[in-house]
Amino acid sequence: MAARRGDVTVRDALDFRGQVVLVTGAGGGIGAAVAQGFGSCGAHVVVHYNSNAEGAEKVAGAVREAGGTASTAPADLTRPAAASDLVDAVVAEHGRLDVLVNNAGDMVLRVPVAEMSDEDYARVLDVNLTSAFATSRRAIPVMQRQGGGAIVNVTSVAARNGGGGRSVVYATAKGAVSTFTRGLAKELARDGIRVNAVAPGIITTPIHDRHTPPELLEQLVGGIPMGRAGTPDECVGAVLFLASPVLSGYVTGQVIEVNGGQLTP
């Protein structure tokens, strides 16, 4: 028998049929897992990507196999106009936007602050912070007209611990995403729009393949009480929980840590 919350089963609480969910940066990693998670709950998932069209198409196929429907949408979210156009395109095609998952982000590079160029500094902020700001800004009036919605931002354990080595600006950007989450939640609470975030720890995603040397990764994992890195699938439950108005209808402005005990509140 399914667990119950009042007169609603948890299975019903995770029923996203008829809802449109936009997951940014969903061509791989955590975004791909989240997209498939919403697919398994019956949602129509818009799989956003920047350059990985092939990966996005594979994720869209996986969403359909999981039981949902899917479409793909390209956009360079470091450009605010492109972020606005992305949301407009979703609404034009589907008529609504119920859940926005701001997952797009990247470390870009590991470099000491003293050696970071202005261009790389701006790039790190744009891909991690500007993308979430610009996409949310355009989604807000859509959700206000609908009478509510949910925004789930993906931040990082780096937002609280300062990063895992030569990643100060990335950690700073993610710290800003966490603060943006808390402030926006207060601003939109009376509109029925809940804003929360998930803060993954060390997760086995392509970001570490690109930017974390094996010896540094081993060191970081060594500090995790559970003794291992997490997987993208282990981030999905927290996102679905925060997107569900039944399971988390009185939850807003919160950051859920998913880090194996690496950092606790």
pLDDT tens, 179-221? Answer: 999 999 999 999 999 999 999 999 998 777 787 788 888 888 9
- 247, pLDDT greater than 50: yes
pLDDT tens, 79-91? Answer: 999 999 999 999 9
Looking at residue 33, its pLDDT comes to: 98
Looking at residue 7, its pLDDT comes to: 63
For 18-130, where are the alpha helices, taking DSSP H only? 29-40, 53-66, 80-94, 118-125
Annotated catalytic residue: which of 49, 121, 170, 250? 170
- 8, pLDDT greater than 70: no
- 1, pLDDT greater than 70: no
Confidence of residue 3 (pLDDT cuts 50, 70, 90): very low
Mean pLDDT across the chain, nearest whole number?
A: 94
Q: Is residue 250 annotated as part of the catalytic site, yes or no? A: no
Cross-strand pairs, 47: 23, 72
- 4, pLDDT greater than 50: no
Tell me the pTM: 0.94
3-state secondary structure of 227: coil
pLDDT mean over 228-237: 97
3-state secondary structure of 193: strand
User: Which is nearest to 191 in space by CA: 220, 151, 133?
Assistant: 151
Which own/partner pairs from 167-174 qualify as long-range (CB within 8 Å, at least 24 positions apart)? 167/107, 167/110, 167/211, 168/113, 169/113, 169/116, 169/120, 169/121, 169/124, 169/125, 170/107, 170/108, 170/124, 170/128, 172/125, 173/105, 173/124, 173/125, 173/128, 173/129, 174/105, 174/128, 174/199
pLDDT mean over 124-143: 98
pLDDT tens, 99-129? Answer: 999 999 999 999 999 999 999 999 999 999 9
Higher confidence at residue 6 or residue 213? 213
41 DSSP 8-state letter: T
Whole-angstrom Cα distance, residue 211 to residue 71? Answer: 30
Structural domains of the chain sorted by starting position, each given as residue range(s) with its CATH number in brackets: 8-256 (3.40.50.720)
Q: Give me 128's structure tokens.
A: 């991690």
pLDDT tens, 54-69? Answer: 999 999 999 999 999 9
Q: Of all residues in the chain, what percent carry a pLDDT higher than 70? A: 97
Looking at residue 216, its pLDDT comes to: 84
Looking at residue 6, its pLDDT comes to: 54
Q: Give me 214's structure tokens.
A: 């094996």
Looking at residue 210, its pLDDT comes to: 83
User: Which is nearest to 132 in space by CA: 22, 208, 35?
Assistant: 22
Under 8 Å between Cβ of 102 and 24: yes
Residue 259 to residues 43, 72, 92, 233, 243, Cα–Cα distance (Å): 27, 29, 37, 13, 20
Residue 146 dihedral angles phi and psi, to the nearest 5°: -75, -20
Whole-angstrom Cα distance, residue 112 to residue 145? Answer: 45
pLDDT mean over 245-249: 96
- 5, pLDDT greater than 60: no
pLDDT mean over 249-259: 98
